[in-house]
Structure 1
Amino acid sequence: MSFVPGQPVTAVVERIEIQKLSQGPNLVLGFCIGGGIDQDPGQNPFSDDKADKGIYVTRVSPGGPADVAGLKIGDKIMQVNGWDMTVVTHDQARKKLTKKNEHVVRLLVTRKTLEEAVKQSMSRPGPSPAPSPFEAGNKMQRRRNLKHLTKG
């Protein structure tokens, strides 16, 4: 994802703040990453540039802290709490994200298109559509919503 003057913008930048969830002694973010300067960029399904060694979001737990904050699969993580993540190993990125003394993670991410960002921002207020271990009663709430939508 690089900018070429005179060409349309193919990525947007978004700030995302994730409140870690306490699960016993652990603080959970609810997402997984892939990539890093020590990984094979040819295996990255999220970048058209097969030389891109950035850190990407590979999984987001439905209803988890990252999902609630608006993080999406395929987002490229540029910064974590102000730290540059563009030239780091996979392990360095993981350590920055999982610091035990930080209960909030502030990310700067790039997303492929403006259209994706607009869709995401328009859909934020609603609950996650998939069942989740993070949301008690999610299935029941969906049934209530479905009944409401199908009436007259």
Structure 2
Amino acid sequence: SSFAPQRIEIQKLRQGNNLILGFSIGGGIDQDPGQNPFSEDKTDKGIYVTRITPGGPADVAGLMMGDKIMQVNGWDMTMVTHDKARKRLTKKNEDVVRLLVTRKSLEEAVKQSMGGFPRP
């Protein structure tokens, strides 16, 4: 399957004292990778986008559910704990988060949602 790296820049939304990204993550080296519905390789302990707030900053920036986060502002995210990943994303003094993500090509995603049947 082909994975196309995408660069995504999210402008955090300020709500009171909080900076909102508008997405949730799953995964991490301290989590059970077998529980990850988005990874093909069930030993993959990477950080994945599990939920996106419709109309939120991540949604507007083009982040998608199932994207695997490879880097946050240049930090490697392929071998981090869940907590460390969360902390890197929610740094107080950063208004902008630059992500490098890989996503299954559209064709792969469509094939999967159709139950993997080859096209006639």
Shorter-chain TM band: 0.7 to 0.9
Question: In the alignment, which residue of structure 1 is the partner of 2:33?
Answer: 41
Pairs within 5 Å for 1:78-93: 78-93=70-85
- Could you tell me which runs of 5 or more consecutive residues in structure 1 were left unpaired when the two chains were aligned: 1-8, 118-152
- Could you tell me which runs of 5 or more consecutive residues in structure 2 were left unpaired when the two chains were aligned: 110-120
Identity, in percent, stands at: 81
- What is the TM-score of this pair, normalised by structure 2? 0.87
Are 2:3 and 1:11 equivalent residues in the alignment?
A: yes
- Residue of structure 2 aligned with 1:99, choices 91, 100, 104: 91
SS of the aligned residue for 2:34 comes to: helix
Structure ID, larger Rg: 1
Question: In the alignment, which residue of structure 2 is the partner of 1:113?
Answer: 105
Question: In the alignment, which residue of structure 1 is the partner of 2:21?
Answer: 29
Distance 1:29 1:85 in 2: 17
User: Is 1:16–1:109's contact at 8 Å kept on the other side of the alignment?
Assistant: yes
User: Is 1:46–1:74's contact at 8 Å kept on the other side of the alignment?
Assistant: yes
- Residue of structure 2 aligned with 1:58, choices 44, 47, 50: 50
Question: In the alignment, which residue of structure 2 is the partner of 1:73?
Answer: 65
SS of the aligned residue for 2:97 comes to: strand
SS of the aligned residue for 1:34 comes to: strand
Question: How many angstroms does 1:116 deviate by?
Answer: 7.2
User: Is 1:79–1:86's contact at 8 Å kept on the other side of the alignment?
Assistant: yes
Greater RCO, 1 or 2 (C-alpha within 8 Å, sep 6+): 2
Greater helix percent: which structure?
Answer: 1
Greater strand percent: which structure?
Answer: 2
Question: What RMSD, in angstroms, separates the aligned Cα atoms of the two structures?
Answer: 1.4
- What is the TM-score of this pair, normalised by structure 1? 0.69
Q: How many residues align?
A: 109
SS of the aligned residue for 1:66 comes to: helix
The aligned amino acid for 1:74 is G
Question: How many angstroms does 1:19 deviate by?
Answer: 0.2
